[in-house]
Structure 1
């Protein structure tokens, strides 16, 4: 699977869970369990409740995603 096979969506963090996991409410009213991407962990980008984020999904499982960008 290549990088262009991902689905991107925007949402808001509603809950912070252990191990860099987050519950995100997407703009289309779906909930997703997301993990912070490796680049965000490496650069110590903190995500808190209420932050707007961009999430990438695999076409195979739309309930779990990866947070790739935190909007200001």
Structure 2
């Protein structure tokens, strides 16, 4: 699967779990379990509670994803 196959969703971080996992509520009211994407992790960008983020979700499993962008 390519990066082009991922679906980008806008959402808000509602809880921070252990091990670098975040629960993100996307616009449709669904919750997605997400981890930090590669460049965010490499640049050590902090994501905290109530941040607006963009999540890349696989069309095969829409309950898990990667946080690829943090809005300012």
The TM-score with structure 1 as length reference comes to 0.96
Unaligned runs of 5+ in 1: none
> Cα offset for 1:59?
1.1
In structure 2, how many angstroms separate the alpha carbons of the residues matched to 1:57 and 1:70?
A: 15
In structure 2, how many angstroms separate the alpha carbons of the residues matched to 1:41 and 1:8?
A: 18
Say which SS state the counterpart of residue 63 (structure 2) adopts.
strand
Say which SS state the counterpart of residue 41 (structure 1) adopts.
helix
Q: How does 1:8-47 map to 2 (within 5 A)?
A: 8-47=8-47
In structure 2, how many angstroms separate the alpha carbons of the residues matched to 1:2 and 1:64?
A: 16
Say which SS state the counterpart of residue 8 (structure 1) adopts.
strand
In structure 2, how many angstroms separate the alpha carbons of the residues matched to 1:4 and 1:27?
A: 21
Q: Does 1:55 align with 2:55?
A: yes
The TM-score with structure 2 as length reference comes to 0.96
> Cα offset for 1:6?
0.6
